[in-house]
Amino acid sequence: MTKTGRILVVDDDTDVLNAARLYLKQHIGKVDVESNSTLIPSLMKEFDYDAILLDMNFDEDVSSGEEGFYWLEKILESDPSMAVVLITAYGDVEKAVKAVKKGAADFVLKPWQNEKLLATVTSAMNLSRSKREFQMLRTRHDALKSDIDQPYQNIIGKSRAMEQIFQTIEKVAKTDANVLITGENGTGKELVARALHRRSNRNENVFITVDMGALTESLFESELFGHEKGAFTDAKEARAGRFEIANGGTLFLDEIGNLPLQLQPKLLSALQTHEIRRVGSNKTKKIDLRLICATNDSLGKMVENQEFRQDLLYRINTIEINMPPLRERSEDIPLLAGHFLKQYRAKYRKEISGITNQAIQYLKEYHWPGNIRELEHAVERAVIMTDENQLQKGDFLLTSVTGNDQQLPLSGLNLEEVEKTVIRKAMDKHEGNISHAAEELGLTRASLYRRLEKYGI
């Protein structure tokens, strides 16, 4: 049977240490022994122990066990998941109960029976591992809370440009190749990253997102690599970083171009070695994950301007997927608008059967600087504002159709003020002619009348 695990035995009696080491090393992967209890903190920082056997009395002729209790408290303060087994020659019930109440996993009496010692240590190691697994699951659960309620689960589109994206996803997903997704803001880069994960061999594990643009330099290492308790002022407890949480799954680094140049070597080192080290720790942890990055920047130009490391670009860019802007896939607009209409009419409980052809044409002619995200917001606004059973051209308050038209000033205005301004301009242009104004606005005469009455125009 393969020996696994690592334990630490701390006792000021070298005979006890030798006896424990000689017997336990036959059954456990690594047995470290130490007679100086003051070295416990440094040993815990250097090695990952599954259990610690701790003598209760380090001073000669002292049987109170207070020093053992002191180190028990320090060990659990440093690592609450650690299983500590106390060793004592004075194993009265009162002291044993007190030790367990203070957090000890168990206790053994000196001199011990080997079988009893092994059973106690094995049980303590299993307890420690279970606690750590639970802690990791809880950390993953917290990290995934923000990912549960996604606005959509699928990428929508039938255009030629999107068909090519789908083909690339199918080819790349099953591999572990690092992927860089490029494109303007709002084009759906994160949706592609999620699609790659769902179709990968890691789809039963986690998908973890990090917004690199939101990370300050001071939080970079802690957020990505984690930290130990006390590593810095606000580190009140140990915390796993995103790399560690994503282990076995997929890590998505959004807006990778925002990573400062001076921090890029730390990310590159983690990707090259597949190892991370928590802030405040001397121990490295092996990491196995699939990396997907996204950016709306030209990383090639950033390399030329010495703003992005070329070796890091090579590392993250095994495969590049470029997301087309919405203006280059206008044939997908009816599908996307219909999808958002279905979503928001349910949310706002409105009976809206569809979108008029005139409104669809209006949407297709718009240049969509904010891409799909802007279209989603436009549909949501239209659903909220309409009084009709179909969305009409006038329900969509877009800034400019061609980019050359005079744009509507939106700064400081709410939706009703924008609509009121648009209607007043149309009425002025057509000198109060309801039919002509309604036609230009893409409204029925009845809809325009209701709005004129609503705004007192």
For residue 218 the two structure tokens come to 């001071």
Q: Supply the pLDDT for residue 169.
A: 94
pLDDT at 308: 95
Taking only the tens of pLDDT, the chain with its 457 residues reads 568 889 999 988 888 899 999 999 999 989 999 999 899 998 998 888 999 999 887 654 444 557 778 888 889 888 888 999 988 876 555 776 777 788 888 888 888 888 888 998 999 898 888 888 777 777 666 655 545 444 335 688 899 999 999 999 999 999 999 999 999 999 999 999 999 999 999 988 999 999 988 888 888 889 999 988 888 877 788 888 999 999 999 999 999 999 999 999 999 999 999 999 999 888 899 999 999 999 999 999 999 999 999 999 999 999 999 999 999 999 999 999 999 999 999 999 999 999 999 999 999 999 999 899 999 999 999 999 898 899 999 899 886 444 444 444 444 456 677 777 788 888 877 877 887 788 777 777 777 877 887 777 8
- Rounded to 10°, the helix 93-101/66-78 angle is 20
Neighbouring residues of 291: CB distance < 8 A, sequence distance ≥ 6: 178, 179, 250, 251, 253, 271, 316
Query: In sequence order, which residues have a C-beta less than 8 Å from that of residue 201 and are 6 or more positions away?
Result: 174, 176
Q: Which domains does the chain have, with CATH numbers?
A: 6-132 (3.40.50.2300), 150-324 (3.40.50.300), 327-455 (1.10.8.60)
CA distance 31 to 130: 20
The phi and psi torsions of 107 (rounded to 5 degrees) equal: -145, 155
Q: What is the pTM of this model?
A: 0.62
Give the separation between CA 420 and CA 457, rounded to whole angstroms.
Answer: 8
Residues in the chain: 457
Residue type (1 letter), 358: Q
